[in-house]
Structure 1
C-alpha cells in the first residue's frame, strides 16, 4: 500500500508539472472506493492549483466556474502518472485506469488494479466530504508542533501495542507498516511494547527515529513492494535498505541476532529480539 513517503514522492513528481494546467476533459472508469460527487463533465475549464498532501491524501485545487478540488487517495495499489505527450483521452481506456484528467500539460491517470483508491470532489478542504475524511488524521511527522511530549502524551492514552498506535494514524500520520517496523528498530523498541508504558525518553527516541526513517524513505523514492511507481514511472528503493522489514531470519545489522517476524493486527511485524526491548 502506498504510504506517506510514496504519496509525498508522487506529489513532488507532479506538483510543478500540474500547477496552472487547464482541464480539457475527464473520464471515470470502474467505480472506486467512493463516488466522485459531481458530474465528470463539469471538470473541463478548471485550472489546477498547487498540489498538496495531508497524510496519504492528495488535494488538487481546481479554480473555475465552480471552484473546489479533487481529493485523491491511492488506496492499496494505486499510482498516478502524468503523460505529458498525451493530447486526447486514449481509446480504449487502458486496463486498471479508473480516473483520467486530460489537461493542456498532459494526461493525469490513476491506475488502481484493486480499486480501493478514490477521487472525490469537495468545495474546499475544510468542507465535506474532504473535512470528514481528514478529520481524524494526526500530526504530520515533520510538523514542529509534534513534540516528544505530545507524542508521549498520545501514546500513554493507549493500551495497545506501540506499533498499532503508530499505524492508527490519529497521533501521527506517515508511519505505515514498513516505516513503523524500521523506526521501532532504530529506536530499539519492541513493537509489542504497550504504548502507555513507553517512557518519555523512549518516546523522544522514537520520534527522532521515525523522522529519520521517513526522511530516508523520501530520499530513496519510497518503497515498491509490488505496484507503486511515482508520476515519472520510477519505483522506490527504500525496501532494499531496510534493516528488519522483510528480513526474517537474517542477522540484525546492529547486533547480529536473527530478525524475527510476528503478526500484529493481521500485519507482519519484523524486529530484532536482541536489541529491541519491551
Structure 2
C-alpha cells in the first residue's frame, strides 16, 4: 500500500461503516506521528491516552450494534521517537538484570521504569528509532503472533536495503544478525515488547541505528546473557540518518499490514 505527506501518496479516507451489517468499517489507515526526542514517561502516557480513546470507541460500537446504529471506525496510530537514556523493565523481567543502582543511573544520566509490556529489561536512548504502533487489530487481523512477526519482518526488510542479512532466532523475539544456527556471533539489532488490550496494541520496537551501545553494558539485555547487541552504525561503520531508516521502515510496514500510513 502507500504512504502520504513526507512518505508518499495515500488512498484517502477510512473505509465507511456498514449500516447494513451493523459492523464498523475497517480502517486501514495508520496516522504516523514523529515525536522527536521525547521523555519516556510522557510518551508512555500518550500511548495510554490513545489506547483508552480507541477502547472507548469499541465500547460505544458494541452499544451501537445492539441498538441498530452505525458503529464508528476505530483509528490507528504509529508513534515514532527517540528517548533520553532510559531503562525499562517488562512484566516478566527480573530487577537484578539492571546492573546500576540509583547513583549509577544518575551518573549515566539515565532513568528506570517498570512498565506493562511483555519481556525483560531493555535500553532506549538517542540514536535509536523507537516505534509504538497503537493499532486496533480488529482492523487488520486478530493474531498477536502474526503481529509480532510482521513488525520483525519490516525491520528485516529495512536491513536488507543496507545489504545486511537479518532474521529471527527460535524462541527469542526480535531481529538478529548472524541469526542462523551455529553462527559464532549472534547480535540483536531490534528488540520488541508489546501489550494488547481487546486487540488494541501498545509499546512496540526499539531499532538500534546510531545507538550508544555502551549503555547495554549496564543491563542483561532482554535477560539474555550469551548474545551481543549491535546497531546499524556499528555494522556499516558509518552514521545513518534516522529519517532515512524511518522512511524505509514505514514503507515496509505499510506493505506488510496492507495499510496506508499517513504522516499526521
Same fold (TM over 0.5): no
Larger Rg: 1
Q: Which has the higher helix share?
A: 2
TM-score by length of 1: 0.26
TM-score by length of 2: 0.27
